[in-house]
């Protein structure tokens, strides 16, 4: 199998593999990637591709970082896996302590799982059972329109307004949706959008404040619905109102966490400590599937009792997998030893400079930047996921050896933090070229 040539590999892929978020009948052949380093992926035919979407938003330091690779190798030769009910292990404990030290005071209790959707699902279940264990009926959930939280049933329920899940509509439970004041550079309507969203919240709280278990939101950037950004000040006001109604706050930092938003966690900019926090993706530097749901003591304590009936009846085969924990510890360490956040600041500056240069373009709308994420809308492209022109743009970049993945009419760059200034400028240059050549 190792010696398969590209044609054989693609033929067998076509015959036996089912790819995610892909219309298998019409999709072009996938690119066989065989190697990676820093901000680059290398295909079987030796072509280098600049990974400007951090391989679905997971790579933060860079591909195959030697420190993370070594930590995993060492752990694999020591303790690769152990049941996490009735056993523990040093890397899980060390990671829980390290995360607690990096997070605001209060966020100190760590429940492990293995992907972002599951971290969210666990947060929703914790929130629901938190009230159940106290004999209170708070059954409603609240979310923002456009919020995306993952692929499991609870996460899909909280994400249904994105339109990705129409086929599953009858399986989903109701989640109340509030308007989201998405904003961008030079947005004249910002104040009125925020006021409208806060007024909608107030009306909601008056009616359902006593029956809502929790609100879930992606702080500062709604990722999958098109890198839609909002101001920290808005979220601050929003969360203060929610807190007055004793509703639990869940932050989904699966995408924004670990430096992506310009601070280690977006919650630092918002200035709010949520009751529950979901993290994954960049947790291991993108090396291993690992996730955590972190909660405050008052949440944890509601599950304590003399019988199993109040315990959280939830767990996975790979809960706190030691390889994932070792990778996460190595990745977190790099933020200090490599001064990673300074790299994010440099990326953000280039994004702003290049977006500024596009200001006069009649083809570009709603430019926005938050940390390492830059996004804009392209006039005339169908806003639906998988649109033809979005596909055209993706291919335009691929021909120039850059991997991107537009979300409908939204073009965005979300590079690994090791991306050089020259590499990042190249990506922006290609966008300019695409705009000039008929987009």
- The contact set with ligand PMP (CB under 6 A) reads 115-117, 120, 148-151, 218, 223-224, 252, 254-255, 280
Give how far the C-alpha of residue 106 lies from the chain's centroid of Cα atoms, to the nearest Å.
Answer: 22
**Measured from the CB of residue 37, what is the shortest distance to ligand PMP in angstroms?**
24
Residue closer to ligand PMP, measured from CB, 156 or 430: 156
Rounded Cα distance between 143 and 150, Å, is 13
Residue closer to ligand PMP, measured from CB, 52 or 439: 52
List Cα–Cα distances, 406 to 56, 65, 227, 303, 365, in angstroms. 12, 27, 10, 42, 14
**Measured from the CB of residue 53, what is the shortest distance to ligand PMP in angstroms?**
11
**Measured from the CB of residue 152, what is the shortest distance to ligand PMP in angstroms?**
8
**Measured from the CB of residue 304, what is the shortest distance to ligand PMP in angstroms?**
28
- Contact assessment for residue 81 and residue 317, using Cβ atoms and an 8 Å cutoff: no
The sign of the dihedral angle between the CA atoms of 225, 126, 234, 142 is positive
Residue closer to ligand PMP, measured from CB, 151 or 377: 151
Residue closer to ligand PMP, measured from CB, 62 or 154: 154
**Measured from the CB of residue 280, what is the shortest distance to ligand PMP in angstroms?**
5
Residue closer to ligand PMP, measured from CB, 288 or 434: 288
**Measured from the CB of residue 235, what is the shortest distance to ligand PMP in angstroms?**
15
**Measured from the CB of residue 147, what is the shortest distance to ligand PMP in angstroms?**
8
- Contact assessment for residue 129 and residue 303, using Cβ atoms and an 8 Å cutoff: yes
In the structure encoding, which two tokens stand for residue 292, read together?
């955590």
Rounded Cα distance between 176 and 160, Å, is 10
In the structure encoding, which two tokens stand for residue 334, read together?
């790099």
Length of the chain, please? Answer: 439
Q: Which of 276, 270, 159 is nearest to 220 (CA)?
A: 270
Rounded Cα distance between 388 and 72, Å, is 40
Residue closer to ligand PMP, measured from CB, 223 or 232: 223
**Measured from the CB of residue 111, what is the shortest distance to ligand PMP in angstroms?**
16
List Cα–Cα distances, 141 to 19, 160, 214, 394, in angstroms. 31, 13, 5, 36
CA dihedral 71, 72, 78, 82 (to 10 degrees): 130
Cβ-proximal residue to ligand PMP, closest one: 116
Rounded Cα distance between 63 and 432, Å, is 27
List Cα–Cα distances, 308 to 128, 130, 314, in angstroms. 17, 14, 12
**Measured from the CB of residue 223, what is the shortest distance to ligand PMP in angstroms?**
4
Residue closer to ligand PMP, measured from CB, 143 or 224: 224
Residue closer to ligand PMP, measured from CB, 302 or 407: 407
Residues facing 347 on adjacent strands: none
Residue closer to ligand PMP, measured from CB, 178 or 364: 178
**Measured from the CB of residue 226, what is the shortest distance to ligand PMP in angstroms?**
12
- Contact assessment for residue 354 and residue 429, using Cβ atoms and an 8 Å cutoff: no
Rounded Cα distance between 273 and 256, Å, is 15
Q: Which of 422, 287, 424, 410 is nearest to 352 (CA)?
A: 424
Residue closer to ligand PMP, measured from CB, 254 or 404: 254
């Amino acid at each position: 199998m190792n010696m398969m040539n590209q044609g054989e590999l693609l033929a067998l892929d076509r015959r036996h593999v089912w790819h995610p978020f892909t219309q298998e009948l019409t999709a072009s052949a996938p690119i066989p990637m065989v190697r990676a380093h820093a901000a680059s992926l290398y295909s079987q035919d030796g072509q280098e591709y600049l990974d400007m979407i951090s391989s679905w938003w997971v790579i933060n330091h860079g591909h195959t970082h030697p420190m993370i690779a070594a930590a995993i190798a060492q752990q694999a030769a020591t303790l690769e896996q152990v049941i996490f009910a009735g056993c523990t292990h040093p890397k899980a404990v060390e990671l829980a302590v390290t995360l607690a030290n990096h997070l605001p005071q209060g966020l100190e209790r760590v429940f492990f799982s293995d992907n972002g959707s599951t971290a969210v699902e666990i947060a929703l279940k914790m929130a629901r059972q938190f009230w159940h264990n106290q004999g209170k009926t708070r059954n409603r959930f609240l979310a923002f329109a456009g919020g995306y939280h993952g692929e499991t049933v609870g996460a899909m329920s909280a994400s249904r307004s994105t339109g990705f899940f129409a086929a599953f509509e009858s399986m989903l439970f109701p989640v109340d949706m509030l308007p989201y004041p998405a904003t961008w550079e030079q947005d004249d309507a910002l104040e009125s959008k925020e006021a409208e969203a806060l007024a909608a919240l107030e009306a909601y709280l008056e009616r359902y404040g006593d029956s809502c278990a929790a609100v879930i939101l992606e702080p500062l950037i709604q990722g999958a619905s098109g890198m839609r950004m909002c101001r920290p000040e808005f979220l601050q006001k929003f969360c203060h109102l929610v807190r007055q109604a004793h509703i639990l706050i869940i932050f989904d930092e699966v995408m924004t966490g670990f430096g992506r938003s310009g601070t280690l966690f977006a919650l630092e900019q918002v200035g709010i400590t949520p009751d529950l926090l979901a993290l994954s993706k960049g947790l291991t530097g993108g090396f291993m599937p690992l996730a955590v749901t972190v909660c405050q003591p008052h949440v944890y304590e509601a599950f304590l009792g003399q019988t199993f009936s109040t315990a959280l009846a939830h767990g996975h085969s790979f809960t706190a997998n030691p390889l994932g924990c070792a990778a996460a510890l190595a990745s977190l360490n790099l933020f200090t030893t490599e001064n990673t956040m300074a790299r994010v600041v440099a990326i953000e500056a280039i994004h702003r400079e290049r977006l500024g240069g596009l200001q006069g373009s009649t083809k570009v709308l709603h430019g926005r930047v938050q940390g390492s994420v830059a996004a804009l809308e392209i006039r005339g492209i169908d806003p639906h996921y998988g649109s033809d022109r979005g596909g055209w743009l993706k291919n335009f970049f691929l021909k120039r050896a850059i991997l991107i993945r537009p979300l409908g009419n939204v073009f965005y760059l979300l590079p690994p933090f090791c991306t050089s200034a020259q590499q990042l400028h190249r990506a922006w240059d290609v966008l300019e070229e695409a705009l000039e050549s008929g987009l």
